[in-house]
Amino acid sequence: MRDSTGNFSVLHRACKLVVLLCFFHISVTFIFYVRSLDFRFAFAKHDQTASKDTVPDAFETNHFSVDNVTTITKELGKCPDTSPLLVGPLRIEFSNPVSLDVVRKENPNLKNGGRFKPKDCVALQKVAIIIPFRNRDEHLKFWLYYLHPILQRQQLDYGVYVINQDGDEVFNRAKLLNVGFSEALKEYEYGCFVFSDVDLIPMDDRNTYRCFSQPRHLSVSMDKFGFRLPYNQYFGGVSSMSKEQFLKINGFPNNYWGWGGEDDDIFNRLNSKGMTISRPSGAVGKCRMIRHNRDGGNEDNPQRFDRIAHTKETMNKDGIKTLSYKVVKVEKDQLYTKITVDVGEKMARQTN
Ligand code: UDH
Ligand code: NGS
């Protein structure tokens, strides 16, 4: 009897020990499991933070997937108000001709159509640059040579649109600018439009080709005018307007055929809608014009004085709302989008 009781107590203790060992084993396993969970969570958290801060090297925002389910977006910060890449005054001269192949090689980051976006930050504005054009290829080469590097340093999301007037009809600068506005918007959600003559080159990259709270006149200090404004209301050469500012004045007039007055009409439109002109300082706004002879087909417009006297009455009837034209050809180059257009004839000017 005593023997069997003794055996039972040994067995009992052995069982207790086994249970204790099992409990210890489960506890240790549990602790390790919890710790490994912590570690995995922390690792995932770290990974996400790192992915937010890392600047992607691709043109567009990067995505990568985890388990094919979650998508984490790499976010770029906004570009600063003043680009850190600006260098200030520039030497601009036109003595040596420019080769477009060289300009293409020197601007490897341009996308087809003369498009660019900064790699390391999100540009503050999407800018379409519109150039009225006909038979000025040598000037266009200089413009592309000088402007592309400047615009890239200005950290803009931009595209260059050369609006080429087809045929031999009298030149119509303002209507070409309207066409540029309308065609550029079909391609991309531009919010800002810079209208630039092909023969004007800024002499300082701090003269940013972007939009401001008021319409901007950029070519304020031209060499041909002795680096000053020819008159206070002058709005010719290079100017910029947001989409809203442009639409508020019904765009530009379509009926100024030949040289002169269309820029004064634009000034009158802005003025009549209560807008003021914003300008850079005379030093920052310095620019050079490529000297040239008077173009054929761009004779002085004899009606210009009469027309600018009646801007207020005509501006709602003549502008972007009544624009009509035909696209003849679209050419995409690395350096620009060239759109050749039939803008109609001078005879049609009464209505358009
Ligand atoms: N343009 C062309 N081809 C032309 C005419 C004009 O491309 O045949 C474009 C070009 O972008 C030019 C802009 O339109 O820079 C303005 O041309 P403009 O001839 O009005 O102005 P610009 O200052 O010449 O180049 C002025 C000639 C002097 C006029 C004197 C009037 N009394
Ligand atoms: C004014 C013209 C503007 C022209 C400006 C500068 O007289 O269109 O001269 O011209 N206005 C009228 O003719 C009504 S420029 O010296 O650049 O050829 O922009």
Q: What is the 3-state secondary structure (H, E, C) of the chain?
A: CHHHHHHHHHHHHHHHHHHHHHHHHHHHHHHHHHHHHHHHHHHHHHHHHHHHHCCCCCCCCCEEEECCCEEEECCCCECCCCCCCCCCECCCCCCCCCCHHHHHHHCCCCECCCEECCCCCECCCEEEEEEEECCCHHHHHHHHHHHHHHHHHCCCEEEEEEEEECCCCCCCHHHHHHHHHHHHHHHCCCCEEEEECCCEEECECCCCCCCCCCCEECCCEEHHHCCECCCCCCCCCEEEEEHHHHHHCCCCCCCCCCECCHHHHHHHHHHHCCCCCECCCCCCCEEEECCCCCCCCCCECCCHHHHHCCHHHHCCCCCHHHCCCEEEEEEECCCCEEEEEECCCHHHHHCC
The per-residue pLDDT for 245 is 99
Torsion of CA 334, 106, 159, 270, to 10 degrees: -140
Mutate which of 259, 263, 266 for ligand 2 pocket (most atoms within 8 A of beta carbon): 263
- Phi, psi angles (nearest 5°) of residue 273: -95, 15
Structure tokens at 268: 């009158």
Which ligand 2 atom is at minimum distance from the Cα of 308?
14
Res. 352: pLDDT tops 60:
no
Question: pLDDT value at position 146?
Answer: 98
- pLDDT, the chain, mean: 86
295 Cα to the center of ligand 1, angstroms: 7
Residue 189 has pLDDT above 80, yes or no: yes
- In this prediction, residue 7 carries a pLDDT of 63
pLDDT at residue number 16 = 76
Which pLDDT belongs to residue 47? 30
CA distances from 317 to 135, 275, 312 (A): 31, 20, 10
CA of 207 to the centre of ligand 2 (A): 22
- In which band, very low, low, confident or very high, does the pLDDT at 48 lie, cut at 50, 70 and 90? very low
Q: What ligand is nearest to the CA atom of residue 175?
A: 1
Predicted local distance difference test score (pLDDT) of residue 155: 98
Q: Inform me whether the pLDDT recorded for 292 exceeds 60.
A: yes
pLDDT tens sequence across 238-278: 999 999 999 999 999 999 999 999 999 999 999 999 999 99
At residue 13, the pLDDT reads: 75
Would you state the pLDDT for residue 14? 67
Q: What is the pLDDT of residue 231?
A: 98
Instruction: Write out pLDDT tens, residues 64-104.
Output: 233 333 445 578 999 999 999 999 999 999 999 999 999 99
CB 328 within 8 A of CB 153: no
Strands 192-196 and 238-242: antiparallel
Average pLDDT over every residue of 138-157: 98
User: Rounded mean pLDDT of 57-62?
Assistant: 28
pLDDT for 42 equals 32
The confidence band for 326, taking pLDDT boundaries of 50, 70 and 90, is: very high
pTM: 0.81
The protein residue whose alpha carbon is closest to atom 9 in ligand 2 is: 260
Q: Does the pLDDT of residue 235 top 80, yes or no?
A: yes
Instruction: Lowest mean pLDDT of 28-32, 50-54, 195-199, 301-305, name the range.
Output: 50-54
Q: Which one of 222, 234, 311 would you pick to mutate in the ligand 2 pocket, going by the greatest count of ligand atoms within 8 A of its CB?
A: 234
**For position 49, what pLDDT does the model report?**
28
Asked if 341 and 329 count as a contact pair (C-beta separation under 8 A), the reply is: no
Q: Domain spanning 100-350: which CATH class is it, in words?
A: alpha beta
Q: In the prediction, which pLDDT does 71 show?
A: 47
Q: Band of the pLDDT at 201, cuts 50, 70, 90?
A: very high
Distance CA 75, CA 70 (A): 16
Note whether 97 and 141 are within 8 A (CB): yes
Ligand 2 centroid to residue 8 C-alpha, Å: 118
Radius of gyration of the chain (CA): 33
Looking at per-residue confidence, does 311 or 7 come out higher? Answer: 311
Please give the Cα distance from 281 to 279 (Å, whole number).
7
Q: Which ligand is nearest to the CA of 302?
A: 2
